[in-house]
Amino acid sequence: MLTHIPFPALPVPPSWFPGHMLQFQRTLPTLLNKTDVVLELRDARLPLTSINRNFEGVLQKWRRERGVIPSPSPSPGGSTAGPSSSSVCERVVVFSKRDLVPEWGVRPFQRAMEAKYPDQRTFFASWNHTRDIKALNQLLVNIAKQHPDRLELNVLVVGMPNVGKSTLLNALRNIGIAGPTPKALRTSAHPGMTRVLSTRLKLSVDPLVYAYDSPGVMLPFLGNGIRGAERGVKLALIAGIKEGLYETEALASYLLYRMNVLDPVAPAYLQLLPPGSQPLLDVHEFLALLAKRLCMLKRGGIPDTSRAAVWFIKWWREEGGLASASAPALPTSLATSGLESCRRGWGFDLEWDVATSEAGRYGEAAIQAKIEGCIDAFEAAALEDERDGSTISSTQEKKRMKEQQRTRQQARTRARLAARRG
């Protein structure tokens, strides 16, 4: 059992924010005017990192305008009443790839999210499981039935790149429409396939439910320091960032670290190594051993670690993630390890310490409390980044200063022209 897992060195995060993402982000407020339900997709392996905080302000404004949440500063004499009976304004956060995270953390995480964000519904699903798609389809149908005065329900699907938006809509359409339904949206394992808002897709006939697919929107700037670096590597591992912006060995190093945290006794990658192998901390040693095992050798019998890194990441995306999801809530050897505590993780975002003395009462309530602590730490870090300006790159700051300077110059010019006319 690994007792100390050092954090790897990570590269500076790249910037990847194509023009179609900016265009969609600007049109989102207008789109919400004709939207009843927002399905916000996130990756269950990155339940916090796959939050796009640029959506938050727009979605909160949408809910205030619909009367779902009160305005922070209502005008004198203004009404603070709730939404009218005909108003529909639902936000459902759907965590995709449920089968790639340990099942023991799903319910505690949902309860923690409900406690921290009571204005959001949460839903876990795997697109491979028909029952999950049926349950999500029924949720949308039930929302529509709660508003029989509405002729139709309009759903907008948003989220970061490659979280499965198009795949979900194809699956919902297949479940909700009787008879053969051809694939309506193109899908890809690479981010950025959807570049414009889709045409309306019918998801249900009675009641009528329509949906729009939208381009995946990345954060314009991933952040400074270790938090920004880690955010970028996580998104690259789930193929949420354009291929080629990261060296594969850097991704392999972080992946090795995370798999060790998920299961320090028997991490899933051991099945790739020779029988009897022990968990490894050094990525170069691991990749060399893996390259030999896969017969990936250069001239002279030198292990081709670069090829091995590419293979390792591909294996994790296709098979290893499922194997990692079988990690237990606690190592069975914790009580006899002689350690005071051990490090535990759920997905790639949530990580906490468990004291050996806690092992006997380590149930769902205890796990929920640990997860709530992780969410609190995440929110505190996000606020700190906003205060420090770490959410804006130096390039963005320069552009903003130039725009402000241009606006001031235009105001001075208008003032001079007005003075001359006067």
Q: How many CB atoms lie within 10 A of CB 116?
A: 14
Residues 6 or more apart whose Cβ sits within 8 Å of residue 33: none
What residues are paired with 51 via a beta bridge? Answer: none
Q: State the pLDDT at residue 397.
A: 54
Q: State the pLDDT at residue 75.
A: 46
The one-digit pLDDT tens for each residue of the chain (422 residues) are 787 889 999 998 888 888 888 888 889 999 999 999 999 999 999 999 998 888 888 998 999 888 876 666 554 444 444 444 457 899 999 999 999 999 999 999 999 999 999 888 999 999 889 999 999 999 999 999 999 998 999 999 999 988 888 889 888 988 888 766 655 565 555 554 565 676 788 899 999 999 998 888 888 788 888 999 999 999 999 998 887 889 999 999 999 999 998 888 899 999 999 999 999 999 999 999 999 999 999 999 999 999 999 999 999 999 999 999 998 898 877 767 777 888 888 999 999 999 888 888 899 999 999 999 999 999 999 888 888 776 665 555 566 667 777 788 888 888 888 888 86
Q: State the pLDDT at residue 81.
A: 47
DSSP reduced 3-state for 133: helix
Structure tokens at 401: 């200063």
DSSP state of 360: G
Residue 77 backbone class (left: φ over 0; alpha: ψ -120 to 50; beta: rest): left
Q: State the pLDDT at residue 303.
A: 96
Q: State the pLDDT at residue 417.
A: 84
**CA Rg, the chain, in Å?**
24
Q: State the pLDDT at residue 116.
A: 92
Taking the C-alpha atoms of residue 83 and residue 87, their distance in angstroms, rounded to an integer, is 6
Q: State the pLDDT at residue 265.
A: 87
